[in-house]
Structure 1
Amino acid sequence: MSNRITVGLDGSGAGSAAADWAANEAELRGAALQLVHVDDWAQYGPFAAPLPEPRRQWAEDLLSLTRDRLLREHGTLDITTHGTRAVAASEVLAASAADADLLVLGSRGLGTVAGFIVGSTSSATIPETDAPVVLVRSADGEDRPPGHADRAAPVVLGLHLRSNCDRLLAFACEEADRRSCPLVVVHGWSLPPVFSYAPALDPGVEKEMADGLEATLRELLGPWERKYPQLAVEARIVIGQAAIQILDAAAGAALVVVGRRIRRPAVGARIGPVTHAVMHHATSPVAVVAHD
């Protein structure tokens, strides 16, 4: 990796919030920051007409003014800019993130009940890159950056115990360690349909299964707790839909971490339903980490 964070700018409040979050993250990591703006040809129709001069100037100003603002607030950061025009913005953003440690994108808010629209560019970019992607929304859905997270706010990790969890655990532990905040690991589960009536017939069945899952989770966490002995880790095995349990734990979190399994299908890539739900409804920044 290049010890660089890349952030996509589009001129929206969410894009500004993403830039602020990325700058804070770059300071935590001691990393460089790259600001990227892509004018998507698709919005101008099927013909590659020259970019209108006012819009070209607007794009240049967006990058330079954002860089100047961030340098005033983070004077020690190494900040570069890159503006281009392409058929698909997602391809340029994914290429920019290919050797970056992190790609940060904005998401427009719709309020705490409806969640927020991730947007076509973000949705298309996530499956195209194996780099972790962080989605940031503006505070209260307004065109203004979010306030800094409470130092006591945890990093929340949603974990599927049957997946390869190493990349997720490494990312979440490192983020919590940088912030000196707790790590909350959540696994939501439901009884298989074959056991639908088992708790009524034998109340011990549900507890026995929950105890087994907790033992599995503790076994997974053991090496990471030894690697980060100073990190406060809370493991939660909760019955119910996984996305709902993660969202419940994520209220007020510094960062929510979920996984996306790397697939190379012949027709399109997809994001799993739990990750998709968390992306669209969490109000905290959401990191989507690709894993095998």
Structure 2
Amino acid sequence: MLPPVIAGVDGSSESLAAAEWAAREALRRDRPLRLVHAWNWHPRQQDGEIATAAQRHLAQRSLRQAEDRIRRTCPAVKLDQEQVEGPATAALLKAAEQADLLVLGSRGLSGFTGFLVGSVALDVVAGAGRPVVLVRSGEEAADEHLPDDDGAESTRTGYRDVVLGIDLADPCDEVIEFAFEEARLRRSRLKAVHAWQQPSPIGLGAGDIGLVKRPDRAEEWLGFLSAVLQVWREKYPEVEVVETVTEGRAASVLVRAASGAGLLVVGRRRTERPTVPRTGPVAHAAIHHVGCPVAVVPHD
């Protein structure tokens, strides 16, 4: 059986939007969809059975809300659901091990809601071995598509760009391939973005791109980007690729580039110390400041 797309749900508007986005993604990937609700309870004296029953009732209600929404909007998707008891981070990380993709709801600058309170969501993103997509509240099918000729929202138009943030100092196949595949599935354009900063002359080595004039440096970076992506262009000839290099901090450049996009794809290096999960500054900025769904792809 193919690994499913998994969506974490908790009854919040963010998780419902994430579940619906996950259903559309499951259809694009021709995968089943699994809804997972994680809950954790610590027994106290005599109220254990009552509290457990209440938690199970809330879990069932959350799963039913998500399922009802998906049945209305994506009736063709193959769907099942699961309740998981235990610490939220551990439960979601375990679910990710079985997933083709894990999808969670996000509130951006306000943090995360439901079982994604505080550091849990960041811990999941930082520790998952599979790609994780974060989806904002209010995300709808039309938001993935370009407006129609009259400027109105539509699901009959083409998809918005998939934006790939790429670090040319360490280009990672897993991240690049994920972005190309997402663009292929959508028949959308892929916009590959690299941010560069003018180095100090003191720090330049013999093999560095150390041109003094900024236009020349930008041209060098653009040539490097084209060379890195050439093999992927050949593997995905149907994907239109736009290559962009911009001077500035990577986090700021990507936040601007993702404006109007349908999906932003960024990488996250797997930490050598799994007990200290980290998202990295670029992924962290994207999670908190980008309005479209953000895919965080782990790589070695």
* Normalised TM-score (structure 2): 0.84
Give the 5 Å matches for 1:81-100.
81-86=81-86, 88-100=87-99
Give the 5 Å matches for 1:1-292.
2-41=2-41, 49-50=48-49, 51-86=51-86, 88-109=87-108, 115-118=109-112, 119=117, 120-139=119-138, 147-150=142-145, 151-194=158-201, 205-265=213-273, 267-292=275-300
Cα distance in 1, alignment partners of residues 23 and 60 from structure 2: 19
AA in 1 matched with 2:170: S
* Partner in structure 2 of residue 112 of structure 1: none
Q: Aligned Cα RMSD in Å?
A: 2.5
Contact 1:153 1:254 in 2 (8 A): yes
AA in 2 matched with 1:277: A
AA in 1 matched with 2:165: G
**Judging changes above 3 Å, is the alpha-carbon distance between structure 1 residues 218 and 14 closer, same or farther for their aligned structure 2 residues?**
same
Unaligned runs of 5+ in 2: 146-157, 204-209
* Normalised TM-score (structure 1): 0.87
Contact 1:17 1:146 in 2 (8 A): no
Sequence identity percentage: 36
AA in 2 matched with 1:154: D
User: How far apart are residue 41 of structure 1 and its match?
Assistant: 3.3
Cα distance in 2, alignment partners of residues 67 and 99 from structure 1: 20
AA in 1 matched with 2:33: L
AA in 1 matched with 2:288: H
**Judging changes above 3 Å, is the alpha-carbon distance between structure 1 residues 54 and 99 closer, same or farther for their aligned structure 2 residues?**
closer
User: How far apart are residue 117 of structure 1 and its match?
Assistant: 2.2
Q: Which segment drifts farther, 230-239 or 63-72?
A: 63-72
Cα distance in 1, alignment partners of residues 47 and 241 from structure 2: 53
Contact 1:164 1:291 in 2 (8 A): no
Cα distance in 1, alignment partners of residues 212 and 169 from structure 2: 23
AA in 2 matched with 1:59: A
**For residues 54-101 of structure 1, what are the alpha-carbon distances to aligned partners after superposition, in whole Å with 9 as ceiling and x for unaligned?**
332121121123223312322221111111221x21111111110211
Cα distance in 1, alignment partners of residues 79 and 4 from structure 2: 10
User: How far apart are residue 239 of structure 1 and its match?
Assistant: 0.2
SS in 2 for 1:290: strand
Contact 2:20 2:73 in 1 (8 A): no
SS in 2 for 1:97: helix
**Judging changes above 3 Å, is the alpha-carbon distance between structure 1 residues 89 and 48 closer, same or farther for their aligned structure 2 residues?**
farther
User: How far apart are residue 48 of structure 1 and its match?
Assistant: 10
